[in-house]
């Protein structure tokens, strides 16, 4: 019998998935808030930032107050000191296998928030495109079907095959499932430890986390190291 046009996989490959290697011994830590999480009935803004380090907000931390944490997920929850119910969550290099559990613990703030923005900071070498670029920072966005209450953030749409993963993907999918609005951004950057990106600061200013200041950018693309 002809099998033209069909793809046949060995039985061993058919029962194996990409994330199987990440499971390890299958023993994931049990996650919980350091203290019981207390939230107002309505939250104005909630911003979640996933990055390999938290230095991207080193200058802004004087404007926010830490109120809780999930230590085993490297997650810290802050509240802005502006009087409004605005929260920011910073997740530093969290194990991908813990994403679902983190989203469950964030469910109350996810469902109560009027405006949600998630930000994933990745290395620029992870950005997949057919068009070569010399930019030191590329920003792409994805929005939910419900665009009511979406923050006015004007960036190009994230192109395939690039994806949003981790806790940000879980937050976005939950909002979509509930028919609520959300914006997810991916910041492809050279380095988040050497300098603050102007577009990131402008976004944080909108939610009263960052204050306007002069930004000095230094990029290896602007140097003559390899000339």
User: What's the rounded mean pLDDT across residues 79-106?
Assistant: 91
Q: Is the pLDDT assigned to residue 207 strictly greater than 80?
A: no
Question: At a CB cut-off of 8 Å and minimum separation 6, what does 118 contact?
Answer: 47, 48, 49, 50, 164, 167, 168, 171, 172, 182, 183, 184, 185
DSSP 158-172: PPTT----HHHHHHH
**Cβ–Cβ under 8 Å, residues 79 and 61:** no
Position 74 scores a pLDDT of: 94
**Which is it for the CA torsion 65, 117, 119, 201, positive or negative?**
negative
Q: Is the pLDDT assigned to residue 1 strictly greater than 70?
A: no
First to last CA, the chain: 61
User: Which stretch of 14-28, 104-118, 122-136, 167-181 has the lowest confidence by average pLDDT?
Assistant: 14-28
For 32-43, what is each residue's pLDDT tens digit? 999 999 999 999
Domains and CATH numbers, the chain: 31-211 (3.40.50.10900)
CA distance 32 to 73: 9
Residue 88 buriedness (CB in 10 A; 0-12 / 13-18 / 19+): buried
Strands 183-189 and 137-143: antiparallel
Position 209 scores a pLDDT of: 64
For 193-205, what is each residue's pLDDT tens digit? 445 567 777 777 7
CA distance 224 to 153: 34
Q: Is the pLDDT assigned to residue 212 strictly greater than 90?
A: no
Position 59 scores a pLDDT of: 56
CA distance 182 to 173: 9
The verdict on pTM exceeding 0.85 is no
Query: If you average pLDDT over every residue of the chain, what do you get?
Result: 80
Position 192 scores a pLDDT of: 54
Q: Is the pLDDT assigned to residue 132 strictly greater than 60?
A: yes
Q: Is the pLDDT assigned to residue 216 strictly greater than 60?
A: no
**Cβ–Cβ under 8 Å, residues 68 and 37:** yes
User: What's the rounded mean pLDDT across residues 152-172?
Assistant: 92
Position 13 scores a pLDDT of: 47
The number of beta carbons lying within 10 Å of the beta carbon of residue 59 is 14
């Amino acid at each position: 019998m002809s099998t033209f046009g069909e793809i046949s996989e060995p039985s061993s490959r058919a029962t194996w998935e990409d994330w199987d290697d990440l499971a390890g011994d299958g023993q994931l830590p049990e996650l919980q808030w350091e203290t019981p999480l207390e939230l107002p009935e309505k939250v104005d803004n909630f911003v979640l930032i996933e990055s390999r380090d938290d230095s991207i907000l080193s200058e802004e931390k004087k404007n926010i107050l830490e109120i809780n944490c999930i230590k085993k997920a490297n997650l810290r929850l802050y509240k802005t000191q502006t009087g409004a119910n605005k929260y920011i969550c910073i997740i530093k290099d969290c194990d991908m296998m813990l994403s679902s559990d983190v989203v469950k613990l964030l469910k109350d703030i996810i469902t109560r928030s009027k405006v949600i923005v998630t930000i994933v900071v990745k290395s620029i070498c992870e950005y997949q495109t057919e068009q070569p670029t010399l930019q030191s920072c590329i920003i792409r966005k994805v929005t939910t079907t419900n665009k009511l209450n979406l923050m006015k953030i004007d960036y190009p749409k994230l192109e395939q095959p690039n994806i949003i993963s981790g806790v940000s993907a879980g937050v976005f999918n939950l909002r979509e499932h509930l028919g609520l609005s959300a914006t997810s951004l991916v910041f492809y950057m050279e380095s988040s430890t050497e300098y603050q990106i102007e577009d990131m600061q402008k976004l944080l200013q909108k939610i009263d986390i960052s204050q306007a200041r002069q930004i000095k950018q230094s990029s290896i693309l602007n140097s003559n190291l390899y000339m």
